[in-house]
Amino acid sequence: MRVVGNLLLGIWLVLYGLRGLLGLQFQYDHYVMSALALIAGVLFILRR
């Protein structure tokens, strides 16, 4: 589970960075970003 949490966190960080640097936007991006952050956080909490 920790590997999945790390992967989701990495994806979130890359997408968040691209949104800020390049102004990257897609439909429902705030929902996708929130869901990725929430799932990664829950997986990290469950692992501890």
Please write the tens of the pLDDT for every residue from 16-48: 888 888 887 888 888 888 888 888 888 888 876
- pLDDT, residue 4, reads 84
Cα distance between residue 47 and residue 22, in whole Å: 34
Question: Of the candidates 38, 33, 28, 3, which has an alpha carbon nearest to the alpha carbon of residue 17?
Answer: 33
Residue 19 has φ and ψ, to the nearest 5°, of -60, -40
Cα distance between residue 1 and residue 19, in whole Å: 27
What radius of gyration do the chain's Cα atoms show? 11
Residue spans of the domains in the chain: they are: 2-47
| pTM of the shown model | 0.69
